[in-house]
Amino acid sequence: MKDNDLEIAIVGIGCNFPGGEGLDNFWNVLLEGKNCAVQIPFERFDQKEWCDPDDNKAGKSRTAKAAFADGFNEFDQRLFGITDAEMEQMDPQHKMLLQCTYRALENAGMPMEKASGSRTGVFLGLMNRDYELTMANVNPVIINHCTGTGIAMSIAANRISYTFNFTGPSLSIDCACSSSLVALHLACQAMRQGDCEMAVFGGVNCIFQPRVFVALSKAKMISPGGTSKPFSNRADGYGRGEGCGVILLKPLEKALQDHDHIWGIVCKTAVNQDGHTVTPITKPSMVQQEELLHRIYSTGTYLSDIQYVEAHGTGTPVGDSVEADSISKVIAKARPQEVGPLLIGSVKSNIGHTESAAGVAGLIKVLLMMKHETIVPSVFYSEESSSIDVQALNLKIPTKAEKWVTSREVCANSS
């Protein structure tokens, strides 16, 4: 049975982002305004071989920095009933997703036995295939019966369904940086049309393949310093980040019946594409961003209520400007004047651009701010260094932690 008005509750969260595994460590990074970019560890790849600040050198990355999650490729396979042979051939992204799904169920207070056999869907965003690229260059003699499932993007979701005995839809999607929020959109749709009674969604990004850095460097997308500086005139590209976030969803009515802890409620989601409104294909379209926002806020229902927008905010001069203008035109300037400027920020200033996990990272940030009733600062930003006219746009970018005083927090998330 289809129910387009079904309200969906967020009842569990698991994450591992730069700064330490778990919600408490992530909150400390946000509250203290930390930036987690570090030199690329040798265990990932040899930066002396692959990195050079000279953009004209072929085959080189312009940066030797990124933000990395703790416990890379560490995995207790016995906890998940996985054999040693399987574990040795598994993409580290698959391992991180299993761990964060376990943490999301734990955070929801839901025993694995209770979740087992439920019509729970799994919707995941994955973008980079570092492990597959690495495996393409190994000696063929190590390829065995576990290699195919170990590198398959589909198995990232399917292995979660198999391990936890979830019987709802199970799929992995790649739509670049929007992957994890599109996964949320699909999860909500599936629940509203009765395909599943609960849903797990999220995204993951593991960094250990130097060729991706080289490609981003030659496209001039990546910051030489390895840091994202959203809405700053010092922005020079995005810094890459690693991590994983997984969220458990339930219909709000069922969550209330079950006396679940409710982190937040998903009111509305929408998705679109730029089409051929801009050139080149990687450039964001202000026309299509505004069209999407108009669809969400067409009734004016949330315009006065919305207090904060977690922007995509990668730290690219073109992208930040387009996004700020779109948010301003459709939301900030359309609100009653007495409401004051609209707060915006971007988690990428803390943990870098986690690419296919970027959307869920931003959402978890917002949920933590709601829990602690605190707006966290946007790192690298100051009024003096702003790349946008915040006063003219009716926007405000926080530069220090401030108490969030409101009777009901209403936020938007973009990727």
Assigned domain for 317 exists? yes
φ/ψ (deg, to 5) at 39: -65, 140
User: How many whole angstroms separate alpha carbon 38 and alpha carbon 21?
Assistant: 17
CB contact burial 385-397 (16+ within 10 A = b; e otherwise): ebbbebeebbbbb
Average of per-residue pLDDT across 35-53:
96
User: What is the tally of structural domains in the chain?
Assistant: 2
Cα–chain center distance at 356: 6
**Do 103 and 222 fall into the same domain?**
yes
Up-side HSE of residue 9: CA atoms within 13 Å toward CB?
18
State the pLDDT confidence band at 361, using cuts at 50, 70 and 90: very high
Could you read off the pLDDT of 98-129 as tens digits, one per residue? 999 999 999 999 999 999 999 999 999 999 99
Q: Which domain holds residue 360?
A: 286-413
Beta bridge partners of 39: 65
Assigned domain for 271 exists? no
What integer best gives the mean pLDDT of the chain? Answer: 95
**Do 240 and 322 fall into the same domain?**
no
Secondary structure (3-state) at 181: helix
Q: At what angle do helices 92-107 and 153-164 cross, to 10 degrees?
A: 40
Assigned domain for 336 exists? yes
Least confident of 183-192, 220-229, 288-297: 288-297
Which of 266, 297, 324 is the C-terminal boundary of a domain? 266
pLDDT over 90 at 297, yes or no? no
Catalytic-labelled residue, pool 36, 177, 196, 411: 177
Average of per-residue pLDDT across 251-260:
97
**Do 114 and 203 fall into the same domain?**
yes
Determine the pLDDT at residue 408: 86
Catalytic-labelled residue, pool 36, 100, 206, 312: 312
CATH number of the domain at 342, please: 3.40.47.10
**Do 190 and 105 fall into the same domain?**
yes
Do 233 and 386 contact (CB within 8 A), yes or no? yes
**Do 343 and 373 fall into the same domain?**
yes
Give one DSSP letter per residue of 29-97, joined into a string. HHHTT---EEEPPTTT--HHHHB-S-TTSTT-BS--EEE--SSTT---GGGGT--HHHHHTS-HHHHHH
Average of per-residue pLDDT across 244-264:
97
State the pLDDT confidence band at 336, using cuts at 50, 70 and 90: confident
User: How many whole angstroms separate alpha carbon 266 and alpha carbon 191?
Assistant: 12
Assigned domain for 18 exists? yes
Determine the pLDDT at residue 178: 97
**Do 175 and 292 fall into the same domain?**
no
Assigned domain for 277 exists? no
User: How many whole angstroms separate alpha carbon 297 and alpha carbon 306?
Assistant: 10
Average of per-residue pLDDT across 11-18:
98
More confident residue, 201 or 298: 201
Active site residue 353: yes
Could you read off the pLDDT of 121-159 as tens digits, one per residue? 999 999 999 999 999 888 899 999 999 999 999 999 999
pLDDT over 90 at 301, yes or no? no
DSSP single-letter state for residue 138: S
**Do 260 and 297 fall into the same domain?**
no
Which of 238, 266, 294 is the C-terminal boundary of a domain? 266
User: How many whole angstroms separate alpha carbon 130 and alpha carbon 215?
Assistant: 13
**Do 251 and 362 fall into the same domain?**
no
Q: Which of 267, 261, 305 is nearest to 406 (CA)?
A: 305
**Do 192 and 336 fall into the same domain?**
no
Active site residue 145: no
Could you read off the pLDDT of 376-413 as tens digits, one per residue? 999 999 999 999 999 999 999 999 999 998 878 899 99
Q: Is 369 exposed, middle or buried (0-12, 13-18, 19+ CB in 10 A)?
A: buried
Assigned domain for 152 exists? yes
Assigned domain for 275 exists? no
Global pTM value: 0.97
**Do 369 and 231 fall into the same domain?**
no
Assigned domain for 278 exists? no
**Do 70 and 132 fall into the same domain?**
yes
The amino acid sitting at 136 is: A
**Do 164 and 198 fall into the same domain?**
yes
User: How many whole angstroms separate alpha carbon 217 and alpha carbon 382?
Assistant: 27
Determine the pLDDT at residue 300: 59
Catalytic-labelled residue, pool 100, 188, 196, 353: 353
Which of 207, 234, 266 is the C-terminal boundary of a domain? 266
More confident residue, 339 or 355: 355
Give the H or E element holding residue 365.
helix 358-372
Cα–chain center distance at 277: 25
State the pLDDT confidence band at 190, using cuts at 50, 70 and 90: very high
